[in-house]
Amino acid sequence: MTELAAAAPAGAEGASLRPSTRDLSPHMSDAARARLKTRYRAEQRFRAYGIAAISFAMLSLVILLWTILSNGTTAFFQTHIRLDVPVGADRLGLQGSGPWTPTELRLASWDRTINLAMQERFPAVTSRADRNLLSRMVSPGAGEDLRNMVIADPALIGRTVQVWALAASDIDMFWKGHIRRDVPEAERRVNDRTVGWIDDLTARDEIRSQFNTRFFTSASSVRPELVGVAGSVVGTLMTLLVCMALAVPVGVLAAIYLEEYAPKNRITDIIEVNINNLAAVPSIVFGLLGLAVFLNFFGMPRSAPLVGGIVIALMSLPTVIIATRAALRAVPPSIREAALGVGASKMQVILHHVLPLAMPGIMTGTIITLAQALGETAPLLMIGMVAFVTDIPNSVTASATVLPVQIYMWAGSPERGFVEKTSAGIMVLLVLLLAMNAVAIYLRKKFERRW
């Protein structure tokens, strides 16, 4: 060592005078140097492959999220047109002079009232075809909004009310720039006359974007401007609740049995192999199980969150069991031995000591499993949760859909307006997932214990 250390500077200074140890070493011949160079180059290449792989994965994630965000954010705003609507009893087709019952008001001609107001806003438009075009600029949602406004305050009848009327989806798409002006008229969903009217509205500041509250309060619809996630979010929560009520207790108890009680024998082996296999069965097969057993054999209702919850619970059971077993295993044996030593029975050891200590781990694992279950689509398609549901479901046996299936259905709709709604639905889904994972991480950080 000392010899080498002494020789190195000498070699560096006086290489020409006498051969240094560097030159004498067989590892320092020209051939060896060349070899080393290739080896280092190979090293660099290998490292670059690794970086490339990671970059590809990260880039995919970024592109995916960017696609969703750039398409979806506009869905939270919806275009509205300012209208002065004379709310006359004659226009609404109301008989007599009031007061009218809410039923009469509900059945009145709200769309016609809005359309008349639209025609008065554009008095130059006279031909029948153009008037049709004009009336298609506003969504039926505008009539509904006006109706709700008047039912809440019947005194408005007979007065002229200024409303921001919900624009139809095509107008909305044009205003947001998804339908481009420079496309030839024949290929554009909004024709030149309509564009002229929109310009007229723009010039007078009578068209604007408003926050889309409807998206959070209503269920699905055939019209992109009217859809909302409330129905499917409620369906999702119900399904998750059923899933949780079944999978968590059964999974935790099964894990306790396997981890603490199970004797080492064939039956236990079979159960363990079984659970591991079940965790890797394709989810669509669980859908087939649900269809054949719960719908056809037991005659449970189609499209119900109850059945969806059961199917998802069976699917997440293995994962809950595996997570719980890991948490139980993490509790050190000394705890068990100490409890046994002071005379506790096995059940008491587990219920009073092991389980409470493993609880944070169990909860974290369970929440992450439920988050996965939340995104599950295929098995729910099988049991008919693709039903077109325009109401918010009110019980676990009512027809319902869940958010991922809703996203799937919107994604299959041809209208341009559904692209942004689908993306926005995905954003809501991802936020729910993130929230659940954040809770899990918080629990882990807060209660994590190193033994």
Partner 1 sequence: MPLSTLAIVLFALTVFGFLFGQRRAVAFRAESRARNGPPLHSQPGYHGWFVVIWCGLPALVLLLVWVALEGTIIRSLVIDSLPPEVKSRDESEIQLIMAQLGNVAYGVVTLAQVPETIRDAVASGVGLYNSLRATANAAIWVLALSLCIAGLLYARRRLSPHLRARHTVERVANVILFLCSLIAILTTVGIVLSLVFEATRFFARVPVTEFLFGTVWSPQTAIRADQVGSSGAFGAVPLFAGTLLIATIAMIVALPIGLMSAIYLSEYAPPRVRIVVKPALEILAGIPTVVYGFFAALTVAPAVRALGEAIGLQVAAQSALAAGLVMGIMIVPFVSSLSDDVINAVPQSLRDGSYGLGATRSETVKLVVLPAAIPGIAASFILALSRALGETMIVVMAAGLAANISANPLAAVSTVTVHIAALLVGDQEFDSPKTLSAFALGLVLFVVTLALNLIALRVVQAYREKYD
Write the CB contacts of 400 (distance below 8 Å, at least 6 apart in sequence).
Answer: 231, 232, 234, 235, 238, 239, 303, 304, 305, 308, 385, 387, 389, 393
Measure the CA–CA gap between 144 and 60, rounded to whole angstroms.
42
Work out the widest C-alpha separation in the chain, in whole angstroms. Answer: 122
Does 88 sit near partner 1 (CB under 8 A)? no
Q: What is the DSSP letter of 99?
A: P
């409303």: which residue's tokens? 163
State the nearest-atom distance from the C-beta of 240 to partner 1, in Å. Answer: 14
Looking at residues 274 to 293 of the shown chain, list those that interact with partner 1 (rule: CB under 8 A): 274-278, 280-289, 291-293
Which member of 6, 8, 13, 40 binds partner 1 (CB under 8 A)? 40
Measure the CA–CA gap between 190 and 203, rounded to whole angstroms.
18
Looking at residues 233 to 252 of the shown chain, list those that interact with partner 1 (rule: CB under 8 A): 249-251
State the nearest-atom distance from the C-beta of 7 to partner 1, in Å. Answer: 20
Question: Which of the ranges 3-11, 48-56, 108-116, 140-148 carries the binding residues for partner 1, by CB under 8 A?
Answer: 48-56
Pairing state between β 77-86 and 207-211: antiparallel
Question: Which of the ranges 3-11, 64-72, 84-92, 166-174 carries the binding residues for partner 1, by CB under 8 A?
Answer: 64-72
Question: Which of the ranges 41-49, 112-120, 235-243, 391-399 carries the binding residues for partner 1, by CB under 8 A?
Answer: 41-49
Nearer Cβ to partner 1 (143/417): 417
Alpha-carbon 363 to chain mean position: 22
Looking at residues 89 to 148 of the shown chain, list those that interact with partner 1 (rule: CB under 8 A): none
Nearer Cβ to partner 1 (12/58): 58
The phi, psi pair for 197, rounded to 5°, reads -65, -40
Which member of 125, 161, 237, 271 binds partner 1 (CB under 8 A)? 271
Q: Could you tell me where the beta strands, DSSP code E, fall in 40-121? A: 77-86
Structural contact between residues 378 and 386, judged by C-beta atoms closer than 8 angstroms: no
């659940």: which residue's tokens? 436
State the nearest-atom distance from the C-beta of 430 to partner 1, in Å. Answer: 7
Nearer Cβ to partner 1 (29/217): 29
Nearer Cβ to partner 1 (188/302): 302
# binding residues, partner 1 (CB under 8 A): 90
Measure the CA–CA gap between 100 and 402, rounded to whole angstroms.
39
Nearer Cβ to partner 1 (12/59): 59
Nearer Cβ to partner 1 (157/374): 374
Q: Which amino acid is present at 186? A: A
Nearer Cβ to partner 1 (70/217): 70
Write the CB contacts of 19 (distance below 8 Å, at least 6 apart in sequence).
Answer: none
Is residue 301 exposed (0-12), middle (13-18) or buried (19+ Cβ within 10 Å)?
middle
Looking at residues 404 to 433 of the shown chain, list those that interact with partner 1 (rule: CB under 8 A): 404-405, 407-408, 411-412, 419, 422-423, 426, 429-430, 433
State the nearest-atom distance from the C-beta of 264 to partner 1, in Å. Answer: 14
Which member of 8, 28, 34, 64 binds partner 1 (CB under 8 A)? 64
Nearer Cβ to partner 1 (10/273): 273
What tokens does 352 get? 């009073």
């300012």: which residue's tokens? 82
Question: Which of the ranges 7-15, 44-52, 160-168, 333-341 carries the binding residues for partner 1, by CB under 8 A?
Answer: 44-52
Write the CB contacts of 20 (distance below 8 Å, at least 6 apart in sequence).
Answer: 7, 8, 10, 11, 12, 14
Looking at residues 304 to 363 of the shown chain, list those that interact with partner 1 (rule: CB under 8 A): 314, 317-318, 321, 345-347
CA dihedral 424, 425, 426, 429 (to 10 degrees): 130
Alpha-carbon 61 to chain mean position: 15
Nearer Cβ to partner 1 (366/423): 423
How far from 273 is each of 159, 250, 313, CA to CA, in Å? 74, 18, 19
Which member of 28, 58, 222, 438 binds partner 1 (CB under 8 A)? 58
Nearer Cβ to partner 1 (96/263): 263
